[in-house]
């Protein structure tokens, strides 16, 4: 029997897409398992969701630590859990090159826009949707991509678009994009667990 892909999640926020992965595993846990969730925010929604699902939730306090020092500690936690794939889910820190090197081509992220549009430093959360609306865009969407040294610059794995209606506000666009994220993040993880690229 093929070994399950061991997923480590890095999260800072509510963990909406983490819940999508947890729900996906309840349907069929044969391809992958979430072995730990690491957060830089104490009692984040993601940590709470992990613990409710009996997944180890680890809070690593970034206060007083240099970025590389923090990332080294984070890498050691993931290595302890023998993680095969690192999933960034609402993770609000830019990770450093030593961490990327330790998990090269094994880190994925979801970005709430169609990269290369509205991506890179400064484009995160509602700021993305505000910019999309300010520019009068008719579509937006989400991108799942590998993580490299460039913010939102890694190889694209999957992109899905949604229409923006004339009277949509930030909350409306965010809801449409998050619906795509929740649908496609588990599908991408399953594809990678099957050995897809």
Catalytically active residues, by annotation:
111
**In terms of Cα–Cα distance, which of 39, 48, 49 is closest to 70?**
39
Sign of CA dihedral 42, 40, 117, 85: negative
Cα–Cα distance measured from residue 181 to residue 142, given in angstroms and rounded to the nearest whole number: 7
CA dihedral over 52, 53, 54, 56, signed as positive or negative: negative
Q: What angle do CA 46, 12, 111 make, to 5 degrees?
A: 100
- Helices 45-52, 16-27: crossing angle, 10 deg rounding: 20
> Between the CA of residue 83 and those of 6, 78, 88, 131, 143, what are the distances in Å?
5, 6, 13, 35, 23
Cα dihedral sign for 25, 8, 184, 134? Answer: positive
């Amino acid at each position: 029997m093929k070994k399950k892909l061991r997923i480590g999640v890095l999260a800072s926020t509510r963990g909406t897409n983490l819940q999508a992965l947890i729900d996906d595993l309840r349907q069929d846990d044969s391809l992958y398992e979430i072995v730990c969730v690491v957060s830089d925010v104490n009692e984040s929604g993601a940590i709470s969701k992990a613990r409710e699902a009996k997944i180890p939730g680890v809070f690593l306090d970034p206060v007083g630590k240099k970025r590389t020092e923090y990332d080294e500690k984070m890498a050691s936690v993931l290595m302890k859990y023998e993680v095969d794939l690192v999933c960034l889910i609402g993770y609000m820190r830019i990770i450093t090159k030593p961490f990327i090197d330790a998990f090269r081509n094994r880190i994925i992220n979801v970005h709430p826009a169609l990269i290369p549009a509205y991506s890179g430093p400064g484009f995160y959360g509602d700021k993305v949707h505000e910019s999309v609306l300010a520019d009068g865009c008719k579509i937006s969407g989400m991108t799942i991509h590998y993580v490299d040294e460039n913010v939102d610059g890694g190889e694209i794995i999957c992109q899905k678009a949604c229409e923006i209606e004339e009277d949509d506000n930030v909350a409306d666009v965010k809801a449409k994009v998050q619906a795509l994220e929740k649908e496609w993040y588990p599908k991408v993880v399953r594809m990678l667990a099957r050995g897809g690229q």
